[in-house]
Copies of this chain bind each other. A is one copy, B any other.
Amino acid sequence: MTVSRTVCVGFLTVITVGTLLLMLPLSTATGEWNNPIVALFTATSAVCVTGLIVVDTGSYFSPLGQGIILLLIQLGGLGYMTATTLLLLLLGKRLGLKDRLAIQQSLDTAELSSAASLIKSIIAMTMIFELSGAFLLMPRFANDYDTGHSLWLSLFHSISAFNNAGFSLFADSLVQYARSPWISGVIAALVILGGIGYQVIMEMFIWVRDRIRRQRKHQVFSLHFKVVTSTSFVLLVLGTLAFFAVEFFNPATLGTEPLNMKLLEASFQSVIMRTAGFNSIDIGAMETSSLFIAIALMFIGASPGSTGGGIKTTTVRILLNCTRTVLKGEDEVLAYQREIPDKRVLKAVGVVVASGMTVVMVTILLSLTDPGIEFIALLFETVSAFATVGLSTGITSELSTLGQLIIIITMYIGRVGILLLMSALLGDPRPSTIHYPEEDLLVG
């Protein structure tokens, strides 16, 4: 079986097992057999770390059901991060010697040596971050709840945040902690670390370690590291400014808040919008322009080799750098004094166009199955499902069963990714022996 088929079938298997487990009476708070659609929707949403919900996780499911959801999140997030990191490193291995050196310098050679040790390293890193997160969240939750429940809340939200899953045990997500810089800060840090990808974290870790050991050797950061960190930073700042400006006077969101809280909540939404899917302000009450900004941020999503979804920061950056090249009338697409191969730009085009077309087609289907809901809410829901974000204007549970099934399929496609899914369906392409002559066209 090819790598892509393994990933696709793997996700399907975990979703199926998860659905069966969530249907058991033990999983629901009432102790009754669960509605199969609710179980399927919740399991898919958890395994795809999307976070869209048709029932309130905290009150509808028993503690055991919540534990199953948490396990599905962990399996889904870890599985995806491992698979995409492996792909990233395989890509690195196919490169020439000079570039491989840059990557090997940033990752220990031992870590590159085998997939098994890579997986161990990813699992260890995940556990360290999740436990630290739970530890840091604990004191604030302990203010409001008893010890046992606050332990559970801390663990659940830490794992959900690091895996960019967006599941919350509170009915209003994190709205009640909107004004807590501590909770917002810890959650945002977990979300950013989970969404930036394993390789970036490892390169950062090695840099810090060398500084502590006072080894003054010059570390060459990989192109991947530079592109991901700079693009993520710019997106976070732009998102914060945009939400801050647009929602400044909206009384249902930031309008009544003092200035520092406006900034805190705008920046939290900017972090969360790209893939995590918690919310500290009411999405349904946002201005239409904010929804468009949100849709753009959700569509872009996180970075490759992470737990997050979307078309990815690197894809956007490649297309932007390609545009700069074209506008300057030049030929080579550059980033940080490295040439990006033309084939990679073509792939970025494929990802964006195919993703955009999927979103448009799903939105059209939803407007047929649920004609009563307004267009922008359906578009928002579709992008949220496709980019595994999990935010909603509040329509998820109002959708018809057919509409919910469409969202379930969209979450799955969005998680495994269109390219991977196509390659799983079509198999590896046979090398073509026919070559066609070139003929040029005028564009623009």
Q: Does A422 contact B (CB under 8 A)?
A: yes
Are B350 and A325 in contact, with the CB atoms below 8 A?
A: yes
Are A95 and B438 in contact, with the CB atoms below 8 A?
A: yes
- The interface size of chain A toward B, counting residues with CB under 8 Å, comes to 79
Q: 1/0 contact trace for A326-357 toward B, CB 8 Å? A: 11111111110111111111111111011001
CB distance from A13 to the nearest CB of B (A): 23
Q: Does A92 contact B (CB under 8 A)?
A: yes
Are B304 and A443 in contact, with the CB atoms below 8 A?
A: yes
CB distance from A147 to the nearest CB of B (A): 43
Are B329 and A349 in contact, with the CB atoms below 8 A?
A: no
Q: Does A217 contact B (CB under 8 A)?
A: no
CB distance from A193 to the nearest CB of B (A): 18
CB distance from A80 to the nearest CB of B (A): 13
Q: Does A78 contact B (CB under 8 A)?
A: no
Are B340 and A439 in contact, with the CB atoms below 8 A?
A: yes
Are A99 and B426 in contact, with the CB atoms below 8 A?
A: no
Q: Which residues of B contact A419 (CB under 8 A)?
A: 326-327, 444
Known contacts: A289-B375, A442-B224. The answer to whether A346 contacts B350 by CB under 8 A is: no
Q: Could you say which of A105-113, A134-142, A153-161, A315-323 contacts chain B?
A: A315-323
Q: Which residues of B contact A87 (CB under 8 A)?
A: 442
Are B350 and A327 in contact, with the CB atoms below 8 A?
A: yes
Q: Which residues of B contact A88 (CB under 8 A)?
A: 442
Q: Does A133 contact B (CB under 8 A)?
A: no
Known contacts: A289-B375, A314-B443, A350-B323. The answer to whether A329 contacts B423 by CB under 8 A is: yes
| Chain A binding surface, main DSSP class | helix
Q: Could you say which of A168-176, A264-272, A429-437 contacts chain B?
A: A429-437
Q: Which residues of B contact A325 (CB under 8 A)?
A: 346, 350
Q: How far is the CA of A437 from the CA of B97 in the complex (A)?
A: 11
Q: A438 contacts which of B311, B326, B340 (Cβ < 8 Å)?
A: B340
Given contacts A223-B439, A418-B444, could you give 14 more A-B pairs where the C-beta distance is less than 8 Å? A98-B437, A99-B439, A312-B442, A319-B349, A322-B349, A322-B353, A327-B419, A330-B429, A331-B343, A334-B436, A338-B436, A339-B439, A345-B346, A350-B444
Residues in A lying within 8 Å of B, measured CB to CB: 84, 87-88, 91-92, 94-96, 98-99, 102, 222-224, 227, 288-289, 292, 304-305, 311-312, 314-315, 318-320, 322-323, 325-335, 337-351, 353-354, 357, 367, 375, 417-419, 422-423, 426, 428-429, 432, 435-444
Question: Which 3 A-B residue pairings sit nearest by Cβ, starting from the closest?
Answer: A326-B350, A351-B444, A304-B442
